[in-house]
Amino acid sequence: MPHPIERAQPRLEFIPQRFNLLVYYAVKALLPVLRRFRLRPWLPAGIAQIETVNVEKLVNLYQEFQNGKIRFLMAFRHAEVDDPLSMMYLLSKAVPRVARQENISLQYPAHSYFLYDRGMTLWAGEWLGWMLSGLGGLSIYRGKRLDRVGLRTARDLFANGKLPISVAPEGGTNGHSEIVSALEPGVPQLGFWCAEDLAKANRSESVLIVPIAIQYFYINPSWKKLNSLLSKLEADSGLSVQPIGESIEREKLFSERILRLGEHVLSQMEKFSDRFYHQPPSTNSNQDIDTRLQAILNKGLQAAEQYFNLESEGTVIERCRRIESAGWEDIYRGDLPDFNSLSPLHRGLADWIAEEASLRMLHMRLAESFVAVTENYVKEKPTFERFAETSLILFDLISRIKGDKNPARPRLGWRKTRVTIGEPISVTERFSNYQKNRVGARQAVDDLKRDLQTALEKMI
């Protein structure tokens, strides 16, 4: 079964950025190893190449930033957990190289502050918080209704920090190189806060948001490894294994195989939810997979929302955030400052509610993982990359249900990353609309979020 958190925990404290040159240069030196092997050197199939596009735009922005003319935020696509390594390469390797080629003098390191989810340290360990802090990262308590300390710190760094700032506007990974999830409002809001702070201080810098696309490609796709992965998933899900040999219709056969697996897993989840969620069936097998998938995600979220007494309102991501907030409040107890003074009875009750909340949150984790999944992703463009991404998402789902703790994703071959710098979007030019009134401010944030989404999608 899935592994819940079994013990109540103290409140998660904010981890500030403490940029340290020794940490920075150590990670920079290890970057070639990290991007190839990450933390599992026995799986040598990571990122072999990183291609950068339009880096001269970023070099010019750094020059203007260092000359006190602009403040800027880099809004990067967040498809995979490897994205920060690609960003580190962009700033520490590509930017200095292009600056030398263009005879542009920059102050080094050309780095940035960045935001990361406070929950990352829960599965990776406290050492990760120390390292990310030393690299200039500050934690955001994503599961909190309003992380005032984190947001206030990020706002101050954007307006006054010695470095630019980087944020993933999607808020989390979606596993798809070619689908941009719906953006959260945090990046546009940070942009307008920065413009507001500069205006109050009578400063003349312009505020910009720079869209950055990150996309992955397999250099030599290993159809044999993909076949092995699908065979394992078929066996784990109770399907007959369908090995595929050499065929001129290979893409068609793999597409049909993945859709068959997805259909089977979906039907099993539907049967499970119809029997145990105590909700009326909302779909039938005649509907398309996308409709049925959204229905099962909705039922899973409702199962969690009913427990936490939450309204089923907003987008899937908004609902996931509310569930996460409610769950973390039951697990990381700010109302219990001294756990050592608790009686065994009170400690037992705290642990009970923490484990219950953790189990309920698993519904949200599954929905969060599948928010961008669509049947057409494989059908419209049957490429190895899309097959691999969809298969790995199914691997994550089945692993969670099996109860595998932190399963190591199979590696399907060496990959190349392409990092593309887009045209900067001026926040300053939109600031007058933001200043009008509350309605104008909300509309300005929504418009900027829409334009940023469009910019990221156009770079795919």
> Where a domain ends, among 354, 378, 402?
402
- In this predicted structure, what is the pLDDT of residue 3? 60
Are 345 and 432 in a shared domain?
no
With residue 415 as reference, give the H or E element that holds it: strand 415-421
Q: How many domains does the chain have?
A: 2
Mean pLDDT of 302-308: 92
Residue reference for tokens 């079994």: 6
Are 151 and 50 in a shared domain?
yes
**Numbers of helices and strands, H then E, in the chain:** 17, 10
For residue 192, what is the domain's CATH number?
Answer: 3.40.1130.10
Cis amide linkage into residue 41, ω under 30° from 0: no
What is the per-residue pLDDT across 171-187, written as a single tens digit (0 to 9) for each?
888 889 999 998 999 99
With residue 100 as reference, give the H or E element that holds it: helix 95-101
Residue reference for tokens 């520490």: 92
Are 358 and 444 in a shared domain?
no
Predicted TM-score (pTM) of this structure: 0.91
Number of other residues whose CB lies within 10 A of the CB of residue 380: 11
Query: Residue 294 falls within a domain, yes or no?
Result: yes
Q: Are 208 and 61 in contact (CB under 8 A)?
A: yes
Are 188 and 260 in a shared domain?
no
What is the per-residue pLDDT across 19-48, written as a single tens digit (0 to 9) for each?
999 999 999 999 988 887 754 433 444 889
Query: Residue 184 falls within a domain, yes or no?
Result: yes
Residue 429: which domain range? 9-219+415-458
Are 70 and 213 in a shared domain?
yes
Mean pLDDT of 150-163: 96
Query: Residue 410 falls within a domain, yes or no?
Result: no
Are 94 and 125 in a shared domain?
yes
Are 232 and 373 in a shared domain?
yes
- At a CB cut-off of 8 Å and minimum separation 6, what does 444 contact? 188, 192, 430, 431, 433, 434
- Rounded distance, CA 117 to CA 182, Å? 18
Are 176 and 249 in a shared domain?
no
- Which tokens sit at 97? 């190289």
When pLDDT is cut at 50, 70 and 90, the band that residue 306 belongs to is very high
